[in-house]
Structure 1
């Protein structure tokens, strides 16, 4: 039996600008082409190689830029992921809501239950004169 479930609207139907690409992806594509073109032009001028061979020098610099545009990690772009990591490092809290349980209401299992229930003893230090 086949049961069709509703698709995630935000994921399935992107805001396409041109031929299935979003404005963000097209922007990264233009930047990648400009970087690769600039490197190819500089290699062509510096070495005197044929322009079709000089283009291959720009491809290794173009690939990471395209990767940053296309890949999403857990539904977030790389900028959103960096913001979440920065927020986590600054606050030491998760950047999402989670269910938390109140420890005072529930007893946590431990092999050493006496230590949990005993009050902490105050340490006294003696100063030498």
Structure 2
């Protein structure tokens, strides 16, 4: 039996502003193109580089704007993703403690006591074997 389930409209169908692009994407395209044109014209008039070479100098400054407009990670744009990452780093310690944590803590404390007692026994044995501690000569 096949049951057709409707797609999630929020994810599958975005708001079209112009030719399938959302308003944020259209704005980022426009700003990136104007930035690329401004950088290219600045290089053309300042350094008198040929026009076909100057066009390539305008592309790198436009890339971050295009990434901001088009990049999506789990439904979040770049700004939302950065906010989420900083919020996660801020709250790295959670207030929840599971019952298993207590058992693990007890086991590690028992191991620590065992190691300390072994170290203390070996230190006491070594102390009396060293002639300097008994007041002997070097």
Length-normalised TM-score, structure 2: 0.63
Q: Which moved more, 1:9-18 or 1:53-62?
A: 53-62
CA RMSD, 1 decimal: 2.9
Question: Are positions 1:47 and 2:60 aligned together?
Answer: no
- Looking at structure 1, the residues matched to 67 and 76 of structure 2 have their Cα atoms a distance apart, in angstroms, of 14
SS at match of 1:76: coil
1:40-67 deviation digits (Å, cap 9, x = unpaired): 0011001223333311211122223212
Aligned to 1:19: 19
Report how many aligned residue pairs link the two structures: 109
- Looking at structure 1, the residues matched to 108 and 71 of structure 2 have their Cα atoms a distance apart, in angstroms, of 51
Give the helix-richer structure, 1 or 2. Answer: 2
Question: Are positions 1:90 and 2:90 aligned together?
Answer: yes
Task: Tell me: CA distance 1:107–1:52, structure 2 relative to 1, closer, same or farther (3 Å).
Answer: closer
Task: Tell me: CA distance 1:48–1:83, structure 2 relative to 1, closer, same or farther (3 Å).
Answer: same
Q: Give the conservation status (yes or no) of the 8 Å contact 2:43–2:54.
A: yes
- Looking at structure 2, the residues matched to 68 and 107 of structure 1 have their Cα atoms a distance apart, in angstroms, of 43
**How many Å apart are 1:14 and its aligned residue?**
0.7
The runs of 5 or more residues in structure 1 that have no matched partner are: 95-100, 117-129
- Looking at structure 1, the residues matched to 51 and 2 of structure 2 have their Cα atoms a distance apart, in angstroms, of 55
**How many Å apart are 1:89 and its aligned residue?**
2.4
**Structure possessing the higher radius of gyration over alpha carbons:** 2
Task: Tell me: CA distance 1:33–1:92, structure 2 relative to 1, closer, same or farther (3 Å).
Answer: same
1:17-56 deviation digits (Å, cap 9, x = unpaired): 0000111111111111111011100110012233333112
Task: Tell me: CA distance 1:25–1:114, structure 2 relative to 1, closer, same or farther (3 Å).
Answer: closer
Task: Report 1:58-97 matches (<5 A).
Answer: 58-92=58-92
